[in-house]
Amino acid sequence: MSGELEADKDFWWSKLQEFGEEVLRPQRKRLGLTQAQMARRIGVDQSRVSRVELWGARPKDYPTAQRYALCYQLSEEEVDEWLRLLSGVAPDEPQSDEALVDYYSTALLRISQADIGGNVQLAAALADDLAGLLTTHLSRQAPGSPVQREYLRMLEIVLEMGCSVASGACFSRETAIAIKRDTLKKTHAIVQALNDPFFGILYELSCGRFSYIRKQYDRAAWRLSRALTDLKNEKEEVPLECLVFILNSMRLLALSLARLKEQAALGKVEDEMRAVLDRVPFSRAGWACHALEGLACAQGRLKLPQAFDTLEETQQLIDEVEAAGTKAPVRRMQLKKTELITIQQLEPTDKTLLERVGAEALLLAQIYGYERYEKDVTALLTTCL
């Protein structure tokens, strides 16, 4: 924890301890289980269950926290409350405009960290809560006022971030399309109200990403290229929180160009992507990992040898992120899947290597409980072998 959360560290531990004593411990007893029996169900030591119940200790990672919630048979409301406490999310909403602006920046970082750490459910919930909070504050503002316009800008960014998290977690492409379509309706209304060229460009990027989800690669490449060109001509500097959407758009543009066999255009996108990456602080390194993984995948699909260099570069960055204390299971799984695709394209006869990397990819998906990646990798292996 950092900043405002660090100052309230004692408060957070006390709230976690209170949750353990007033929710977890009584619920275990209602189930008629001892701590040892509960520990066996979760797959941890009895002493760990005791510390979680009595001392506010945290499970080692998000999948373990999910197992606790499942084994304790917590309600949806209890799961939501516990996950928020585990992530250090303040329950008290900011009331003043000044407090909301500060809260907004911190909340965006929490959403990003939860997403990178594989806590997709929590990331989506945080984005929904922040969007609801902004909507509430918007209702109190005079139409057309500077504060209202600022809140509208903030809301568009939050809606896009929430959509990215939620659609990325979907196993069904149809569900992801439905989420994206609903978000586009909301952001279109915001863009019309703002009449701001910069946020109009962000909306166009979002439309391009929607085309990619629908596998309309030629249309996606056209819309994303046009919007990114318009963005370069904008005099307004891109806010830090918007870089994630720009990098994701460049990632999908690279993948679209690979599908269309546009090697020369891909080289230009790489140059532009790396220029943007220079602006990304280490606290947002997960964005860079995601963008570079997409670039490596595009290079691999075009059978470009430098794909292996980009894979190695991305792996090193993920290692640095995790060494700094942020787990990145989703990024690791994505990268392993991309490595498999690259090997399939560049070294298709090396069955031993394909089997080894495929086994590593399946193991990661199984450890972290990501059925979507497990199914994708299984299909890839079936094709390769």
What's the mean pLDDT in 224-249? 88
Q: Return the pLDDT at 108.
A: 82
Cα–chain center distance at 296: 19
Q: What confidence tier does 79 reach under pLDDT thresholds 50, 70, 90?
A: confident
The answer to whether 110 touches 129, Cβ cutoff 8 Å, is no
Q: 4-87: what CATH class?
A: mainly alpha
Instruction: Using the structure block, give the residue that is written with the tokens 């806590």.
Output: 119
Q: Picking from 104-118, 173-187, 269-283, 325-339, which range would have the lowest pLDDT averaged per residue? A: 104-118
Confidence of residue 176 (pLDDT cuts 50, 70, 90): confident
Q: Which amino acid is at 209?
A: R
**Quick one: pLDDT band at residue 339, thresholds 50, 70, 90?**
very high
Average pLDDT over residues 330-356: 92
Q: Is there a contact between 45 and 64 (Cβ–Cβ < 8 Å)?
A: no
Return the domain boundaries, the chain: 4-87
Give the DSSP per-residue string, 345-379.
HH-TT-HHHHHHHHHHHHHHHHHHT-HHHHHHHHH
Least confident of 25-34, 299-308, 323-332: 323-332
pLDDT top residue among 375 and 259: 259
Of residues 297, 298, 250, 255, the one with CA closest to residue 274: 250
Mean of the per-residue pLDDT values for the chain?
Answer: 85
What is the pLDDT, as a whole number, of residue 237?
Answer: 79
Contacts of 265 (CB under 8 A, 6+ apart): 221, 225, 257
Structure confidence at residue 23 (pLDDT): 92
Reply yes or no on whether the pLDDT at 4 is more than 60.
Answer: no
Residue 5 pLDDT exceeds 50 = no
pLDDT of residue 268: 95
Q: Is pLDDT at 296 greater than 50 in this prediction?
A: yes
Query: Among candidates 126, 104, 103, which has minimal Cα distance to 114?
Result: 126
Residue 222 clears pLDDT 90, i.e. is over it: yes
Indicate the pLDDT class of residue 185, thresholds 50, 70 and 90. Answer: very high
The b-or-e profile of 19-50 (16+ CB within 10 A means b, else e) is bbeebbbebbeeeebebeebbeebebeeebbb
Residue 73 falls in which region: left (phi positive, over 0), alpha (psi -120 to 50) or beta: left
